[in-house]
Amino acid sequence: MVSPWKTASVPGLQLGLGCGFWICRSYRFLFRAGAMGPHVVPRQLVWLSRWQAVCAWGASVQHRTWAGVSRIPSLLSSGGALSSSPLVCRSSSSTPPGAPEVVLTQQRYPVTRLPFSVVSSEDLAAFERILPGGVVTDPEVLEASNVDWLRTVRGCSKVLLRPRTSQEVARILRYCHEKNLAVNPQGGNTGMVGGSVPVFDEIILSTTLMNRVISFNSVSGTLVCQAGCVLEELSRYVEERGFVMPLDLGAKGSCHIGGNVATNAGGLRFLRYGSLHGTVLGLEVLADGTVLDCLTSLRKDNTGYDLKQLFIGSEGTLGVITAVSIQCPPKPRAVNVAFLGCPGFAEVLQTFSSGKELLGEILSAYEFMDAECMWLVTHHLRLASPVQESPFYVLVETSGSRAGHDSEKLSDFLEQALSSGLVTDGTVATDQTRLKALWALRERISEALSRDGYVYKYDLSLPTERLYDLVSDLRARLGSQAKHVVGYGHLGDGNLHLNVTSEAFSPSLLADLEPYVYEWTARQRGSVSAEHGLGFKKRGVLSYSKPPEALRLMQQLKALLDPKGILNPYKTLPAQA
């Protein structure tokens, strides 16, 4: 059989990442033959393994850390969506130069402050005794912790606490519980739903200085660390020891592992390594000052109820995660990424089935994006598409222990996908630089969207076969009201990121979107928050995915674990009637 794939070297191709991080000087493509030239048959994709040998995998990826990047003032000041949002105005002095100030959440949203105490000078003195030098009241410093990275919500906390130990956290919480002071736990502040910043004047309890690795077992791959360790730094740490973290996020450069666990972060390795409910082995959690030591490093432990599960995904509303024990899988020796063009969504799904069959245990990611997403990243970020224009694109990643075997499997998969017409064009990368370039096309969509105008963001779980119908439906429903209606996401996990942009915030457009999107999702028994959580902004929509009995039990659990409701108030659960 003749393969329609060929390899071609394209020296000096500039991928133009828009922020000047790097230029790819030698990029190798696999083109589909046809108008572009004759067929070449690299049956075993032998060059894959040649490249593999000289390329380390998994080092830090600066341009993937959008959360970190987005908080660089010069990027924020470049205009676009942020300045056109009704959530921003220009009055404060504490924002970065040129960046418009974010409207206070309490002014923007219909939310009422609960009767918590207000921090007094006596309280500050008490905190100073617990944390000498760790109490921050400087408004300039506080500003970054009061505003979310998307710059959509803003609290007015007057104090930021930076403990270094679990014992300090315990003492702080015991004090706050006694004094009825509300507390907003904060990790890297990279959340998407306003869960990590105060709504009013809650005390911000930051894990920034709790960034110590406690232990690592190089036989079992069990990592135990404090909650404030940055994901990317942990990745580097375990990769030097032959393992990888079981999760990877665009925000890895800023997000804290404690925050990842508190929000049950999904991300890019979910397809391969599964949920944190499976990979987190232990937690050390504090509710009203009590240290609940569940920091086991055991893979199996059936002694009573698995309490740590309660806190995974509870967004800091049931306890504060101060340390994490997590199972790290062995580091794959070979990683390949294929970026493919598909003629329709049906072909995207069929290519996924074919990938599962032919790539088997080495399939580690299956992401998709539509043509409008590609337009956004090429237009706003000046990235270059490595494949011919297509209605849909998929990114397929393999991770395995043996390069030769992996390239054979990948070659067979690509050959079948192309010969059967599921895929019309594609390119494959195996070395770090090229892998990053392909991943950037998928990962920087969020950044491109924010440059397109005001963004209405939805993070949904849907049955894969219906996943794109909602995007098409909405495009027809909204017509010219919207600039773009785009769909992309972790198709392998049934997770759609649906985004709609408009020049500026429009109440009538919002009224056409909500509750329509939530009702559509509920009819499919989908989830109105697949991986982003509910935080402050989505807490009102929980009932689209959960029955009243479940909500009632959640409220009972909240009352049990945090009877005064001081932990991250106004988050996760809907406001009580």
Residues 356-415 that bind its own copies (CB under 8 A): 356-362, 399-402, 405, 408-409
Q: Which is nearer to its own copies, 305 or 507 (CB)?
A: 305
The number of beta carbons lying within 10 Å of the beta carbon of residue 211 is 18
CA distances (Å), origin 254, targets 9, 10, 250: 35, 34, 9
Q: How far is the CB of 352 from its own copies (least distance, A)?
A: 8
Q: How many residues bind its own copies (CB under 8 A)?
A: 90
**Can you tell me whether residue 124 is helix, strand or coil?**
helix
Closest CA to 426 of 2, 1, 3: 3
- Sole window of 140-148, 183-191, 355-363, 439-447 interacting with its own copies (rule: CB under 8 A): 355-363
Our finding on whether 421 is near its own copies (CB under 8 A) is no
Is 207 or 407 the residue whose CB approaches its own copies more closely?
407
Q: Is 573 in the site for its own copies (CB under 8 A)?
A: yes
Q: Of 423, 198, 237, nearest to 331 (Cα)?
A: 237
Q: Which of the stretches 49-57, 383-391, 504-512, 547-555 binds its own copies when contact is defined by CB under 8 A?
A: 547-555
Of 468, 447, 429, 467, which is closest to residue 339 (Cα–Cα)? 429
Q: How far is CA 311 from CA 207, 303, 314, in A?
A: 16, 18, 5
How far apart are CB 49 and its own copies at their closest, in Å? 13
> Interacting stretch for its own copies, rule CB under 8 A, among 14-22, 74-82, 150-158, 554-562?
554-562
State which residue, 84 or 217, has the beta carbon closest to its own copies: 217
Q: Which pair of tokens denotes residue 447? A: 């950044």
Measure the CA–CA gap between 160 and 141, rounded to whole angstroms.
9
From the CB of 460, what's the least distance to its own copies, in Å?
9
**Pseudo-torsion of CA 414, 416, 418, 423, nearest 10°?**
-80
Specify whether the CB–CB gap between 375 and 486 falls below 8 A.
no
The answer to whether residue 307 forms part of the interface with its own copies (CB under 8 A) is yes
State which of residues 84, 137, 165, 296 lies at the interface with its own copies (CB under 8 A): 296
Choose the binding region for its own copies from 9-17, 36-44, 180-188, 544-552 (rule: CB under 8 A).
544-552
Instruction: Considering only residues 517 through 536, tell me which ones interact with its own copies, judged by CB under 8 A.
Output: 525-534
Two tokens at 310? Answer: 């309660």
Q: Which of residues 431-470 bind its own copies (CB under 8 A)?
A: 461, 463-465
Angle between helices 46-54 and 403-419 (to 10 degrees): 140
314, 322, 411, 501: residue in contact with its own copies (rule CB under 8 A): 314
Task: Scan residues 202-231 and list those touching its own copies (CB under 8 A).
Answer: 217, 219-220
Q: Which is nearer to its own copies, 63 or 457 (CB)?
A: 457
E strand residue ranges, 227-267: none
Structure tokens at 377: 């990243």
Only one of the segments 30-38, 250-258, 310-318, 376-384 lies at the binding site for its own copies (rule: CB under 8 A); that segment is 310-318
CB of 415 vs its own copies, minimal distance in Å:
15
Tell the smallest beta-carbon distance from residue 463 to its own copies (Å).
Answer: 8
Residue closer to its own copies by CB (options 18, 246) is: 246
Residue 115 beta carbon to its own copies: minimum distance, rounded to whole angstroms: 24
Binding to its own copies (CB under 8 A) within 244-263 occurs at 263
**Beta carbons within 8 Å of 188's beta carbon, 6+ residues apart:** 67, 196, 230, 251, 254, 255, 256, 259
Cα torsion for 332, 336, 337, 338, to the nearest 10°? -140
